[in-house]
Amino acid sequence: MSRFNNSLKRLQALDRESSLAPLFYAFSLLGLLAYVLPWVHNPGQALTLGAYDLAEWLSLHPGVRFQSPPLLASALIRLHLVLLSGLIVLWMPRRLWVWTLGFVVLLVLAQLPPAEFVSQREDMNYQQQLGLAVLTLILCGGLAVWSRRTLATLMLGVVGIGVCVWGVIQAREFMQVFHLPAWMGLGAPLLMLVYLAMIGVIWGREPSGE
């Protein structure tokens, strides 16, 4: 128990390290870049998808729609926008908070379903998109007032790595159902490296004055 308490105190001390904020803010933006880079290459096929388009492609797959829970593969890919939005809010520079929050609002809007949702409310894909957009708002609102940002970063990083590995495995499996040779693109490995880098910096850094 004493080791656990010491770890919490160490993380709390790191929360006050001013040099971590711009570093982790940059990591978060790099994570967004990794999200839009190609996640899957299909040699010989005109199908090279970033994470956003990959999640949409998976949502059309009959096997994904009949997963338990439904559309799990799409959710695993889309969840990164939720996590990255939370990380951006955690580490946003004070002088840029207006611009940062505006950017997060754009990320939330990007997750919303199209206007057809009004007339197709039973569509599982649209419901998932709306649910994740609402989850992003709730998470960002909570993290904006939570002081333990290094602890939150560790938690989001661990979840992000697990979701990334699981999502890529699922995507490749469902592509292979159609005999599509799926090669991993740059996006997913880069995003995993971003999460790992955040965890590594927190794990290996000692607070100033200790």
* Residue 39 in tokens: 């996640």
pLDDT of residue 43: 67
Distance CA 198, CA 101 (A): 21
- Output the tens digit of pLDDT for each of the chain's 210 residues: 567 777 778 888 887 777 888 999 999 999 999 999 999 877 655 677 899 999 999 998 888 988 888 999 999 999 999 999 999 999 988 788 888 889 999 999 999 998 888 888 888 999 999 999 999 999 999 998 888 899 999 999 999 999 999 999 998 888 877 777 777 889 999 999 999 999 999 988 877 754
Residue 166: enclosing H or E segment and its boundaries?
helix 149-177
Sheet containing 183-184: which strands, arranged edge to edge? 49-50, 38-41, 183-184
* Coil, helix or strand at residue 45: coil
Selection from 168, 182, 206 nearest residue 73 by Cα: 168
CB atoms closer than 10 angstroms to residue 165: 13
pLDDT of residue 152: 94
* Residue 177 in tokens: 């159902």
Q: Where are the domains of the chain?
A: 21-204
pLDDT of residue 176: 79
pLDDT of residue 45: 56
Distance CA 63, CA 124 (A): 13
Amino acid sitting at position 68: S
CB atoms closer than 10 angstroms to residue 49: 22
pLDDT of residue 175: 81
Quick check: 85 and 140 in contact, CB under 8 A? Answer: yes
* Residue 46 in tokens: 């005109």
Give me the DSSP letters along 53-73: HHHHHHHT-HHHHTSSSTTHH
**Whole-prediction pTM:** 0.90
Amino acid sitting at position 127: Q
pLDDT of residue 101: 87
